[in-house]
Amino acid sequence: MARVLIADDHPLFRDAIRGVVAQVFADAGWEFSCVEAATVGEVLRIADSDEELDVLLLDLYMPGAQGLSQLVTLRSKLPSTPIIVLSSISDPQTVQQCITCGAAGFVPKSASKEQIAVALRTVFDGGVYLPESLGPSTEPAPLHPVIRRHVPDDQDSGPLTGRQVAVLELVASGKSNKQIAWELSISETTVKAHMTAILRKLGVSSRAQAIVLFQRQLIPHSLPS
């Protein structure tokens, strides 16, 4: 089950976003749970929890925000979670700054529900979503620090190991890191290390994207010895 965090200080706007998220996940046949935050402090507390996040929709100027600092902080705390920025300020400079700071997409608050849905699908497919006024959505930018396609080095190249496939299978079944650790008799730290390696080998930026590849049976893996 995917986990989505909607961070905005306006309850009605959160309700609208939650409805769009529900429709996108329903169309994809995925189950999801949604958590909400109304302040930067609440977002950071959720980011520090043990639960994984598959996508974060972030109001850029909610109470407690100081420019782009919260985006930079969250990017550090959630290195594998795509962050889509929501903002009423959508000038080209602000948009570019957000992308440079690690956002996987930028959606003006004036956008329609259809545009927000397109942004979610674009990001889940590994792309970067930009407002229509700045041009079409694109594949990850070559210099994007978070969601660019990974060029594997010797350590990250090659197919997934049997243990990595086992971890990914449990992730796809909705298991948390704690549950996976218990079932495989390994530590949660080891589970996280496996997930980091899996994301790098698959060239994706989130658990949700890895699950999509797994469900489509596009996962190369080593034969058991």
DSSP 3-state of 37:
strand
Q: What is the structure's pLDDT at 4?
A: 92
The type of residue at 3 is: R
| The two three-digit tokens of residue 188, written as one number | 């949660």
Q: What is the pTM of this model?
A: 0.63
SS percent in the chain: helix, strand, coil, step 5: 45, 15, 40
Q: How far apart are the first and last CA of the chain?
A: 32
Model pLDDT for residues 51-109, shown as the tens digit of each residue? 678 899 999 888 887 778 888 888 888 877 889 999 988 888 888 888 888 888 999 98
Which stretches within 32-173 are classed as H helix? 40-47, 69-77, 92-100, 113-124, 162-172
